[in-house]
Structure 1
Amino acid sequence: MGGVSEGDDVLARWSDGLLYLGNVKRVDGVKQCCLVRFEDNSEFWVLRKDIHSFSVGVEDVCCICDAPPLKEPLINCLKCRHGYHPECHTPSIEPEADSNSWICRQCVFAVATKRGGAIKRGRFARLMQIMKLRLPYQLSSLDWDTQHLTNQQQCYCYCAGPGEWNLKMLQCGSCGQWFHEACTQCLTKPLLYGDRFYEFQCSVCASGPETIHRLPMSWVDLAHLVLYHLSLCCKRKYFDFDHEIMSFANENWDSLLLGSLSDTPRQDRCHNLLNALNSNKDRFVSGKEIKKKKCLFGLQVRAPPPLTSEYIIGFLLGLQRSRPQGEGVTELFL
């Protein structure tokens, strides 16, 4: 993208996949990042790749490669007015594209993405689906940790923005990349923090719309997921069973998509959840064990629930067999 200077108003992509308005306070050319002050007066360093500046008038250089027009004029986005060489944009701009109505990838994502999942209908939803058929980076060039949870480039999803795998992201079972909830168009309900009980395939691997299937959950998984979500939302370890854990589960029962557990009568949910909390000391700690109220429960370790059911293990093994020799996938889901 073009240059950014101190004092510029910008849109900065956050780890949830959404763009937020901010003002550049400092620029670090060596580390290629900027200190951005957001509308709530918080300040964070943001990588240059995740900052999108406003432009005034029509630009005379490509905002991707900073080069002037070649044989043909640059194509300018109708919304942001940034100019592009047709081959610099992802996907490449078709020769027949109308320069008076064409909209760039960044603007499509800025309009279409939202909490709970991107829009599914209308012009921007259709444009987004086209954009998502190709990633704007080389997946093979990313440097991943041993569990394939984070990469050094902080590059994820269709938007190439930053992300945190446990904060409302889905992992593609084919390529292993993580995708923001806000950028996906396949969800029927919003994600909870740490919810990985999905079999998901991205648009690139599916060569079309994303595919998603809810994986089965046990009562232990449900208790773990609720506690993990509450711990991140409330920034506490211990929660009252009746007034917080059970209340949250009942209020969000349909959104949890619990499969075979969904039909459990309301009066039986309490017994099953309480039994799961009391019977799995490796995952949960109760108040009575630390000289607190026995109705309090917390996680032994603040981490998302593991994927351990027989169904899921079979699914992962099936993926592993379908991959070329030496390219295991089981570690992607640990």
Structure 2
Amino acid sequence: MGVVSEGEDVLARWSDGLLYLGSVKRVDVVKQCCLVRFEDNSEFWVLRKDIHSWYIAAYIFCELVLCVISGYHPQCHTPTIEPEVDSNSWICRQCVFAVATKRGGALKRGRFARLMQLMKLRLPYQLTSLDWDPQHLTNQQQCYCYCAGPGEWNLKMLQCGSCGQWFHEACTQCLTKPLLYGDRFYQFQCSVCSNGPETIQRLPMTWVDLAHLVLYHLSLCCKRKYFDFDHEIMSFTNENWDSLLLGTLSDTPKQDRCNNLLNALNSHKDRFVSGKEIKKKKCLFGLQVLKVPP
């Protein structure tokens, strides 16, 4: 991995699996990380493994024929570079992921989608070498997904039911709708474990699950605890009804959704708190504790 210096323009992989343009402000050699200032003027420390020199980004916009200049040994790239490959058209894993990853899920069709699917059959790291916490939610190396980038399990990530690793929404090609924050109502198997395309199945949800998921998503998006039932909770639910993939609940007529959701919020004091309990408007609701639905 090349050396990064202060003032250099770089691409940094964020916890959502996407690459963002920034400039290196400071380099910590001991901790192997850099303070990066992004285009919105925010500054964050990023691990060196998740920072890529800006010159690589230029390849993305010119058919990537220069990937070979990155200096990969045939056996060091994942997957291994075949001897008969055309060096004028070969594209490295890093560039494929930079182009194919998108918010709401990676490309499903086209050349980069096919290349990405082939490269996802093997991880570019040893899964058994990662040091996990007891709940298997985070690892010390901050290494997740097919891209080996950082991640936050409680945001837009899916956990493989076979290997237990977490995968970014942006790197998966199986989703039909974007994920909500904290949405774990999926049975997911990664491409490595399936030895082919990812598999995914939506798990059944109750009205209590739906209320919890919507409040968790709104809380993270808006950075508030309490939300108006009619103007925020119900409005968000109706606007995103089809995207929520609610299974048996999806056939509920619009006029009946309100009572079902309101009943769930009022009847589960262990999860939800209403405004009247804290001497606020009774139409306000929030989570007792900001955590993902169980």
TM-score (norm 1): 0.84
Unaligned runs of 5+ in 2: 55-63
Contact 1:75 1:86 in 2 (8 A): no
Deviations 1:19-45 (A, max 9, x none): 000111111111001111111111111
Deviations 1:3-60 (A, max 9, x none): 1111111000000000000111111111001111111111111000000013xxxxxx
Q: CA deviation at 1:258?
A: 0.2
Aligned to 1:75, the other structure's residue is in SS state coil
Deviations 1:132-153 (A, max 9, x none): 0000000001011111000000
Deviations 1:169-222 (A, max 9, x none): 000000000000000000000000000000000000000000000000000000
Deviations 1:68-101 (A, max 9, x none): xxxxxx99516xxxx2101111111011111101
Contact 1:75 1:84 in 2 (8 A): no
Change in Cα spacing, 1:204 to 1:53, as seen in structure 2 (3 Å) is: same
1-structure distance, mates of 2:52, 2:278: 49
Aligned to 2:244, the other structure's residue is in SS state coil
Aligned sequence identity (%) = 90
Contact 1:286 1:297 in 2 (8 A): yes
Contact 1:136 1:158 in 2 (8 A): yes
2-structure distance, mates of 1:108, 1:215: 31
Aligned to 1:262, the other structure's residue is in SS state helix
Q: CA deviation at 1:292?
A: 0.2
1-structure distance, mates of 2:85, 2:8: 31
1-structure distance, mates of 2:7, 2:223: 34
Which stretch shows the higher mean deviation, 1-10 or 293-302?
1-10
Contact 1:75 1:85 in 2 (8 A): no
2-structure distance, mates of 1:29, 1:99: 34
Contact 2:65 2:88 in 1 (8 A): no
Runs of 4+ in 1 over 4 A off after TM superposition: none
Aligned position for 2:137: 149
Contact 1:194 1:229 in 2 (8 A): yes
1-structure distance, mates of 2:157, 2:209: 18
Return the match for 1:75 from 34, 55, 65: 65
Does residue 98 of the first structure (1) align with residue 86 of the second (2)?
Answer: yes
1-structure distance, mates of 2:91, 2:7: 27
Return the match for 1:214 from 193, 202, 217: 202
Contact 2:65 2:89 in 1 (8 A): no
Contact 2:205 2:246 in 1 (8 A): yes
Alignment of 1:219-234 (within 5 A): 219-234=207-222
1-structure distance, mates of 2:266, 2:26: 51
2-structure distance, mates of 1:75, 1:284: 55
Aligned position for 1:35: 35
Contact 1:254 1:262 in 2 (8 A): yes
2-structure distance, mates of 1:173, 1:45: 31
- What is the number of residues matched between the two proteins? 283
2-structure distance, mates of 1:171, 1:43: 29
2-structure distance, mates of 1:29, 1:76: 29
Contact 2:65 2:91 in 1 (8 A): no
Contact 1:15 1:162 in 2 (8 A): yes
RMSD across aligned positions (CA): 1.3
TM-score (norm 2): 0.95
Unaligned runs of 5+ in 1: 55-73, 307-334
